[in-house]
Amino acid sequence: MSQYVSPPKLDVKQAGLTALQLAGQDLLLNYERLMLETKGKGAENALFWSVRSELKTDQLGLPQVWIHLTVDVSLPLTCQRCLGPVDERIQIERDFRFVETEVQAEIEDDESLEDVLVASQDFDLAGLIEDEILLDLPSVPRHDVCPVDVKLAVADADFEQQQEKPHPFAALASLKNSSKQ
């Protein structure tokens, strides 16, 4: 297995033919969109990744390149309950099948359990890793148990309890009763 820091660009077809195995440990600071999500925090956090490619034959007996991706990273996010920092661990294991054209990828992606991508000679592996992490982020990051007490009720100090309003038909009822007398 070849060791890298940053994920290299891949020639997808060549990777499939050679049963490529790559792994690396990169820094979060090398992923601009992830740094935006963390608001610049955790730049020195390690991002572990590995890729294994293989050639499989499809139902028609034609060879297709597959890439198996694993990613493990901890992102410092903001807890939406207590608004304090929370480390969210993201672990990804995904399989990707490669086809020749964008049209073919669109058609087959809807029918497939795996993700279908377009093969290229300079496939951006780092971009794929970043995309997959962004897709895997929790929509509402939060602690299982917040480290501080969370105030769940809000009231203004000068807020007075409203007095009970009279029933809207009470005045009519009193008019009705007074007209009978």
Note down pLDDT in tens along the chain; length 181 residues.
667 678 889 999 999 999 999 999 999 999 999 999 999 999 999 999 999 999 998 777 788 999 999 999 999 999 998 999 999 999 999 999 999 888 888 888 888 878 999 999 999 999 999 999 999 999 999 998 888 887 776 666 666 666 667 777 777 777 777 666 6
What are the structure tokens assigned to 94, written together?
A: 């995904």
With CA atoms as reference, report the closest residue to 82 among 154, 37, 153, 148: 148
Rounded to 5 degrees, φ, ψ at 175 are -65, -40
Rounded-to-integer distance, Cα 170 and Cα 68, Å: 74
- Read off the amino acid at residue 106: E
Dihedral (C-alpha) 117, 119, 122, 126: value to the nearest 10 degrees?
A: 20
Rounded-to-integer distance, Cα 119 and Cα 14, Å: 10
Contacts of residue 165, defined as CB under 8 A and 6 or more positions apart, other chains included, come to none
The number of beta carbons lying within 10 Å of the beta carbon of residue 84 is 13
Look up the pTM and report it: 0.77
β 46-57/63-78 pair status:
antiparallel
With CA atoms as reference, report the closest residue to 96 among 47, 51, 59: 51
Contacts of residue 172, defined as CB under 8 A and 6 or more positions apart, other chains included, come to none
Rounded to 5 degrees, φ, ψ at 180 are -75, -20
What is the enclosing helix (H) or strand (E) of 16? helix 12-18
pLDDT of residue 167: 75
CA dist 17 → 4, 67, 128 (Å): 20, 12, 20
